[in-house]
Chains A and B, each alone.
Chain A
Amino acid sequence: MPVLLATDVLVWLLVAAAAAYGLHCRRHEHLAAPWARVFRSPAAIASTVVLAFYFGAGLLDSLHFRPQLPQKPDAGQKVYSVEVLSVLDWTLAHLRGRTEKTYSAPLAIRSFAREQVELPGGKIAREFPRLQFGGAHLAKEGHWASDVGWRVFKGLGFAAAILLAAAIGMRILRVRWPEVPWNAAVWALGGLLVLLVPALVLSGGYHVLGTDKVGNDVFYQALKSIRTSLVIGTVTTLVLLPLGIALGIMAGYFRGWVDDVIQYLYTTLNSIPGVLLIAASVLMMQVVIDRHPEWFATAAHRADAKLLVLCAILGLTSWTGLARLLRGETLKLSELEYIQAAHALGVRGSRVISRHILPNVAHIVIIAMVMDFSGLVLAEAVLSYVGVGVDPSTSSFGTMINSARMEMSREPVVWWALATAFGFMFVLVLAANLLADAVRDGFDPRVRMAGTPKAVAA
């Protein structure tokens, strides 16, 4: 039974909007030109490839359904589980189901913690037991090295094959768009494939990145966390944009008391310390959600509502920067002769805004959107860490860091969960930052933006 979560709807709407925008740009030369400039940068093209991987995982994780329970012969209607799964869960079912008892190191075949084991003689010893799933297919522990080696080799083979196909494909693309540095794309893709494909092949028999305290696969958790980051990074802008654009342009265009009111609004919002405002709003909304369990069919719906609310609150508290920029830009634009002329001709304000001002500030909006993304991803981690972030049942990098942090004081150190969260987050944010730089350079290198929402600055 398919399930539509609110954030799924928004994510897919955004995808559709992005596709429509892409088509629109293709038809209009002046809109396509800055994008062409962006994609002349090797860094931009490489980070696009990386981001495409993240978005792919996130989108797969945004198609939800409720699995059917085993049908009983006598029961008439179909019965569904209350658990909500996504297509990603379904593809990675082998990772999701295989939970060990507790920690195990990456690629380990024995548990990380000693356990009380009953010896054949009835005596009790304390030793590292074999894992239930990790390396369970090995007849002898000594086969571990050769098995891992063979799987890596197989993975690299697959990766090479895919890369070869991709390289050929790009040769064709190069004919069509010769100015794009396709080599960078091939390199980025190569890097991704070399890491990812062997990891996937290995994950068939092992926990590639180990398991956490209750034995869940860390690699799977990291993949699940991607969606949360993407939703926070994109859906938030969906809330932020209309507010920022409308209020910013109105303040700059109408001036007078409208300007005063809007300026008052954003000074007031800005003057409350960011984390406090976000924390108080999040706590408040959580109480509202928790008070009304009847609004939500399943725990997944409730967790999703909390994610959505977090996005909305982040959006509501961080539109001020964009509004301020747009206000300034609109002030400048409305001094221009042709807009003054439009006024003189008696053109209505709404028409002037939509025909003349909006198109001329669009580049600022695009830059703001791209630049906010990485800041929001980082903000999510901090907020979840502080305890005002996503629902604890939602995988996210923040919750991963939070639970992994305690492990650093163990001896020997359990480093893999933290390292995984670090790696996945670092690559995502780095790619987003590089792309944002290229976008800014391509559109308007002079726009100054403090790119980070309030929460992180604190």
Chain B
Amino acid sequence: MESISRRQLMLAGAAAFLADLVVGRGIAVAAGTDTLTIAFNVNLPSFDPTVGPSAVNPTIQAIYRTIFDQYVGQKPDLAFEPGLLTAWGWNDSKTGIWMDVRTGVTWHDGSPFTPDDVVWSLTRAGDQKTGNPIQFVWGALSNFKVDGNRITADAKGYDPALFKWMAFLTGYVLPKAYYTKVGAEGFEKKPVGTGPYMVDAYEGNAFLRLKANPTYWGGKPAFETVVFKFVPDATSRVAEIESGASDVTLEIPYEEYDRLKAKKGLAGVAAPITDIGMIFINSDAAKTLTKEVRLAAHHAIDKDAIIKRLLRGYGVAIDTLDAPEYAAFDAAIKVPYDPKKAAELMKAAGYSPEKPLKTKIQTTRGLKPKDYEMIQAIVGMWRKIGLDAEIEVYEVAKHFELRTSHKLAPFAFYNWGNAIGDPTTSTGFAMFGPSPHSSWKTADLDAKIGPLWGEADEAKRIAGWKAVDRYIAEEGYVLPLIQYVQPIVFKASLKVTPNATGALQPKLVVKG
């Protein structure tokens, strides 16, 4: 037998290493046909979709919806569909609810899914001690009773959006027996759901590898393996898709989207999502920001020009907080670009370009596409009518602190998501005085919104919210700007269905 010297062994090792380094580009080149690699824009901090800050992060819902199932499902066009509940509703007196639970579903660990899991999940979500940020919704339910596959519960009051919340933030069913056995830390280490994909490997800030759930009740998933690479840097995401290291990516600059989708082998889709850009107005500044000034500020903004020139046409101009896909959208409510009218309104308020009203506007920079540039453009438009706004850049955490303590500047730019499209979760929470997230807090508006929270007649409720939107537009209580468009680039061999919620779920990607 021929012996190998130490030197030869070392050389062979070095050769193998170099060969692997250069030739083993299998590392970077994504996806055999059974693997889908997504260059995702945020990290996944925690697997529990019902507690902590990540539970209310809209982007992460794409991952949660892949591992877990929601009580109620949602189609890409925002329409609701059966999830782990097959039917649901309020009782005739609107004092309680009923839910029919899907049969034949198993958890990823092979144990059967039962109505007890639903009851436990809802009870846990409603318990303030667990730290569920949406506890105020779930806490309204009590006295659960299980009869076969039907669950009934009492409700503190009628909430027309309750079942919509079951398809929204923290509306996920977790495994009672497994979670109770392993506890919170154990669940973080090895999460178990009923969703189309099961957790296979996870490295925080790097990747999440999922395997197809062979017994998924919704049918066999299209890919055997799904890899979410956490790539928060947009330049790196562009490189990921351009080099072929990932199959799909999202939320890249529109310039790059246009360039990449024109490249051979790549394709793109850009569709409006349930996320809008808006300027909050602080009601504490109402003394100087009179109705004339507020309306002038709105009429002076040329939203179409901003969308065309800054966002390369990717955006939808909006005049209310309810975007076209939302339940209470009213196309008849318009606040048109009219610089002449804006100048007249400012003149009536006693201001002109020569004698401007000095104020402040806060904005993020780099959080949303061209956010700072957009505000710069708006400030330029305002200057022409005698509104001189100083720009202050703030970061997300500061915005939330100021917003929840009602200390935002007179004008403050931020975004607002509403994946279920209900008016309560757009106009409602953004404009109702008692909401910690509203910036305009006045009795006249609260009096109009208040009765709508519990309105049982759906047609009347939606008409009521449309009337509120009209009133807000007429009074200039907020400046809605644009509905965002989400750019997704993918390999031409794939087909991606855009999701209006913005959640890029692997189940919406199929082999072309």
Query: Real complex partners, A and B?
Result: no
